Every structure is written in C-alpha cells, then in structure tokens.
Amino acid sequence: MKASARLVAEAREDGRTRLTALADQAPLLLRQTPADADAGAAEVHLVGGAAGPIGGDAVHFDLHLGPGASVRVRSVAASLALPGPQGGESSLDISVRIEAAASLTWEPEPLIAARGARHRTTVNIEMAENARLTWYEQTLLGRHGEAPGSTLTRLRVRRAGRPLLDHTLAIGPHYPGSLGPAVAGSDRASATTLIVDPTWTDVPPAQRVVLDPRDDAHGAIAVLPLDGPAIVINALAPDGLALRRLLDQALCHRL
C-alpha cells in the first residue's frame, strides 16, 4: 500500500494554531482532536486506517509548521508492523519543517515489530534556531512472548542549517549483532527521546534534566546532552511495561 499524508499549521493573529492543510490516505489517517491544557496548540491524532504497516507498504508524511505554530501529534493506538507476503520491508518517511518560534511535540504510541516483520522509519527534520521540538519514539520487538521482528529508525535533525543529531537505531534479527551486548542485549523495548529547547542556551541541559543513569536488569537509561540546547534520552528495558516505568521515573526528574 502506498500512501501519503500532509499537515500544514499556521499561527493565527490571536496566537492559536490553525491547521491549513490536513490531507491523509489510508493507512495513515489524521484527525484533529481538541487540545488539552496546552492552550493555542493544535492536536492531531494518527489513526491506523488499515492493518499494518505490512511489508511492502510505503507511507510518506509531510509536516510543515509555519512561524509560531504549535502542534502536538499523538496516536490512538500502538502500530503493529507485520511481515509482507513477499517478505519486503515496510517504510514510513517523515519530513518535517519547523519554522521560527514554532513548536512540535511528537509522541505516538509504540511501534511493535511482530516476528518476521521488517519496518523502516526515516525522519528528516529541518528546524529554525528558536524552534522547539520534542520527539519521542518507542519500539517493541515482538508482541508478548513472541520472537522479535526488526526495525530501523533514522532520526536526522538539522537546526539552523547545521546537523544537530543523526541517530539510527537498527535492531532485530535482520541486523547482525544488534541483539548482542553492545546494542540492545536481551532488552526488547527501546525509546529515544529528543528534546530541543532554545531556552537551554542559557542553562546547560545537564542542569535542567537531573537523572541518575541506570544500567541494570530492569532497564538502562541515560540523558545525553548534545552539542547545542538539546538532549537525547536513550532507554532500554526488557519489555514495554518496564520501559514505561523507567521513563516515568526519568521524566519526574525533569525540572
């Protein structure tokens, strides 16, 4: 299944964000939902309009946030990547432009890679120097008690024209060595969180986010300050529940 979706957001004169384009195609449907406490932001939920992603599916999603716009993207449920009939890879390409003083929060439910599945997510973000971004993604290899599938996620962010982060996580039986002790080990749940906040230029991220790195049988987590007002939080845990617990504890410490 080939599909594409597009979202364009603009800030109105009263400061509220209006979605000027919201185009979708199954299997990726977009639904604007009432924003909660975060006044002025537009909230969009991703809705799976078909099973999958299934091997062979290719979906493109373009997001463009105009100056001052604020958008939060969530999803109604976890997505389940399944192997395709010809054993091919499924892919999701996300292209994002965040203009001056705009803010994007991306926090969908986890992607679960079922046994035999191969899924690739590629994210390219161009952001202005004073734009804000929270990008959160979670991957679970295999459903409960199931052998792992394989996923590759590449997150590339350029800020003010310079590379800020280029991070690929490829795990699963398709990637040799990735289930070994250097990459994921015996853990089957991983999360990558990127937070870019231009106000951190004045206060170093290390003083903003207080978190004891942890590395034991229940999970591993570390806050990694980038060279810029940004941090990556890397987390690994045996399963989705343990990962959730680990991150909840970490976020409590965020000042």
DSSP state, residue 165: E
Q: Which of 221, 243, 246, 250 binds other proteins (CB under 8 A)?
A: 221
- Which among 39-47, 55-63, 68-76, 224-232 is the span making contact with other proteins, rule CB under 8 A? 224-232
Q: Of 18 and 218, which CB lies nearer to other proteins in the complex structure?
A: 218
Strands 111-113 and 132-141, sheet pairing = parallel
Q: Of 31 and 253, which CB lies nearer to other proteins in the complex structure?
A: 253
- Which among 13-21, 83-91, 127-135, 149-157 is the span making contact with other proteins, rule CB under 8 A? 149-157
- Ranges within 81-110 binding other proteins (CB under 8 A): none
What is the pattern of x (binds other proteins, CB under 8 A) and - over residues 177-216? Answer: xxxxxxxxx----x-x--------------------x-xx
What count of Cα atoms within 13 Å lies in the side-chain half-sphere of residue 141? Answer: 29
The helix (H) or strand (E) run that includes residue 220 is: strand 219-225
How distant, in Å, are the alpha carbons of 28, 126, 127, 143, 164 from that of 79? 11, 26, 27, 11, 28
Q: Which of 107, 226, 238, 239 binds other proteins (CB under 8 A)?
A: 226
**Which residues, in sequence order, are bridge partners of residue 165?**
157
Q: Which of 13, 86, 176, 255 binds other proteins (CB under 8 A)?
A: 176
Q: Of 24 and 106, which CB lies nearer to other proteins in the complex structure?
A: 106
Find the shortest distance in angstroms from Cβ 165 to other proteins: 5
What count of Cα atoms within 13 Å lies in the side-chain half-sphere of residue 146? Answer: 18
Residues of 213-225 as b/e, b for ≥16 C-beta within 10 angstroms?
A: eeeeeebbbebeb
If one asks whether residue 169 binds other proteins (CB under 8 A), the answer comes out as: yes
The encoded tokens of residue 35 equal 């924003």
The residues that touch other proteins, with contacts defined as CB under 8 A, are 154, 156-157, 162-170, 175-185, 190, 192, 213, 215-216, 220-227, 232, 234, 236
